[in-house]
Structure 1
């Protein structure tokens, strides 16, 4: 068997044991992943755009209330931790809590050090979408998430059989519909383009058959 065949076979061996991340690797990943997501939120809020899921709800509420995104995002996620504990277990819940707290804190600090003199709304939305996507992939691959609607979707799927994906889609549809009453329709279109990029990045790059570390 050639080396190329060995490599191909290795990729297709579902029985291979997962490689565990060390504490230092997890810490670096959490800082890196949440920093990318926080930069995305800074770009979006600078442009007056929104995004999907719980982060999008926090952005929208920050526009309405005048509170900072970081503070609102941390508070909005609190009710979901009970569901995460029931559905995903204590380890995932605690890791997600750390990730949410890090994102909230970094999002509070970044505007003190980062400012945009020129940032085209479409370009900003696309880059923010990419940053969010790759930041989330890093967190997923280290056993964490940014909580929120995804956990609710999994909980409802277990309890009543309603597909988790449909829960997230319905939430985003309501969120963007509400945004129409607060934002210019063109800004909503830009926001949607960024959300599409986020989901494409995750769909293309986050596959269990390609990455099995925990």
Structure 2
């Protein structure tokens, strides 16, 4: 880790204020939850814990809001061990907000017509941008990344491959519930989300914490 004492004070990363964190997390979770309205209206899935929650919701009839909140609970302990209380608290708040918004927003947004390709593109763009806002304010929307880092630390198996394997399992399981075209559309949405994050989530472009 770099020694901040060697960096001139004006060039050191500064911590977000409480107000900045509140608006950032509200903005990010609102965008992500709106993207989910598009996705669930089309009956599609995505990756990570949100994808797992959607699969469980489709298979059991349980609400996505409750399922998403519950499937993330085991990861918070790992987050406390690896990253710290501040990250876990912000992540818990973000997950709770998305869970709550996923109940509220479908009553506020209705579709007479929604082209599936357009819908997954909008989902990908909104969710990718929303996740960027959440990441930049020191939080996340799921624990798979934490688990991946834990596995890498314990076994040496690369974290990126752990996440890829998790998502592969989600999409393979989806074939039991969705038709082939729905799974392929879901993959398109997940690809757009990951491209948005890949091109824009760089620490050298954004240094506040």
The 5 A counterparts of 1:40-55 are 40-55=35-50
Q: Could you say what secondary structure the match of 1:201 adopts?
A: helix
Equivalenced residue count is: 201
1:92 aligns with 2:87: yes
1:151 aligned counterpart, secondary structure: helix
Contact 1:81 1:147 (8 Å CA) reproduced = no
Q: Could you report, residue by residue, the CA deviation over 1:130-160 in whole angstroms, capped at 9, with x for unpaired residues?
A: 1111111001100011122111001111111
2:206 matched to 1:211? Answer: yes
The alignment's TM-score, normalised by the length of structure 2, stands at: 0.93
User: Which position in structure 1 is the counterpart of 2:143?
Assistant: 148
* Match status 1:23 vs 2:27: no
Which residue number corresponds to residue 4 of structure 1? Answer: none
Q: Corresponding residue for 2:61?
A: 66
Deviation at 1:121, TM superposition (A): 1.0
Query: Contact 1:38–1:106 at 8 Å: present in 2 too?
Result: yes
- SS where residue 16 of structure 2 aligns? coil
Question: Residues 156-171 of structure 1 correspond to what in structure 2 (within 5 A)?
Answer: 156-171=151-166
1:118 alignment partner, SS class: coil
Query: Runs ≥4 in structure 1, deviation > 6 angstroms?
Result: none
Return the TM-score normalized by structure 1: 0.91
Work out whether 1:116 is the aligned partner of 2:111: yes
SS at 1:78 equivalent = helix
For 1:31 and 1:71, locate their aligned partners in 2 and report how far apart those are by CA, in whole Å: 19
Aligned Cα RMSD in Å?
1.1
Give 5+ residue unaligned stretches, structure 1.
1-13
- How far is the alpha carbon of 1:184 from its aligned partner? 0.8
Match of 2:27 in 1: 32
Q: How many angstroms apart in 2 are the aligned matches of 1:121 and 1:160?
A: 41
For structure 2, the 5+ residue unaligned runs are 1-5
**2:3 aligned partner:** none
* Deviation (angstroms), 1:65: 1.1
- Tell me if structure 2 keeps the 8 A contact 1:136–1:145: yes
